[in-house]
A = this chain, B = another copy of it.
Amino acid sequence: MSDQLRVGPGFVLADVDPDSTPDFDGDKKSGEAELAAGAAELADLQEKLYAESLYGGTRRLLLVLQGMDTSGKGGIVGHVVGQVNPQGVRAVGFKAPTDEEKKHDFLWRVRSQVPPPGYIGVFDRSHYEDVLIHRVRGLSAPEAIEERYGLIAEFESQLVAAGATIVKVMLHIGPEEQRERLAARLERPEKHWKYNPGDVDERLLWPAYQEAYQVAVTRTSTTDAPWFVVPANRKWYARLAVHRLMLAALRDMHLEWPQPDYDVEAEKARLAAS
């Protein structure tokens, strides 16, 4: 699957059908079944990652989630990341920067939230906002934004050198789907809090956002930290796809339970005598 979703040379966002389900032939039911069936392995791999860190390992997984409003970022955190013990998860949502955060360079607040060794970190929005909304709304000078693509790649390379595996996901929905999801939020009182009048303001800039995403993902999809564009009009598919990406990333680490640094038989004897 990852090859089909990965942003490589010649990638064109406009060619990705948000309704499609690349590399999956089944229906919603079979997709949900695969997701549920994979929960135990994902949890197990996370535990191995954590165990390794207790023995000095530095590896960790960072999942970066981006997407237009209602694209399902929160649902991914709940239904996919939620498959592992929350003790091993650091999920962070990045909103508009605070005054304090604005005083620092744009990577400052992100740096402080990088997951420690052994953890799965999730960024719900990220440093990419600084080349997305900033580009669309002109919140920074063009030259500053231009410089950021390189700074981001450099930053991410440093993380990888420090033991991180980075999986960057753009949840890709279509404008009609977004209208329906926003409308649903307005219909149901228990969803009103999820709606924000600003969502429509951003929505009116849809083409500009698509352009900004096109530039961002093509310029920052590196071998170290690739982008995956996940069609997300079908929530069940997007969840399955991210689940598979996380599984693949963790499997690629070839994680093993650490060898004990104590004498197991001697400890059995001490324990029995205690």
Contact = CB atoms under 8 A, between A and B. Distances in A.
B260 A192 contact: yes
B85 A257 contact: no
A274 B91 contact: no
A193 B55 contact: yes
A204 B271 CA distance: 10
Contacts of A268: 183, 186
Interface of A: 43, 51, 54-55, 74, 77-78, 81-82, 85-87, 89, 91, 93, 122, 124, 179, 182-183, 186, 189-190, 192-197, 200, 203-204, 257-260, 262, 264, 267-268, 270-272, 274
Q: Number of copies of this chain in the oligomer?
A: 2
A97 to B, nearest CB: 16
Contacts of A192: 257-260, 264
Closest 4 CB pairs of A and B: A78-B85, A51-B193, A192-B260, A77-B87
A182 B124 CA distance: 38
Contacts of A196: 262
A129 to B, nearest CB: 17
A270 B182 CA distance: 11
Given A193-B258, A193-B260, A260-B195, A203 B86 contact: no
Contact of A271 (B85, B179, B258): B179
18 contacts: A43-B78, A54-B193, A74-B85, A77-B85, A77-B87, A78-B85, A82-B82, A86-B86, A86-B89, A86-B91, A89-B89, A182-B271, A183-B271, A186-B271, A196-B262, A197-B267, A203-B271, A203-B274
A267 B186 contact: yes
Nearest to A190: B257
A229 to B, nearest CB: 22
A270 B272 CA distance: 72
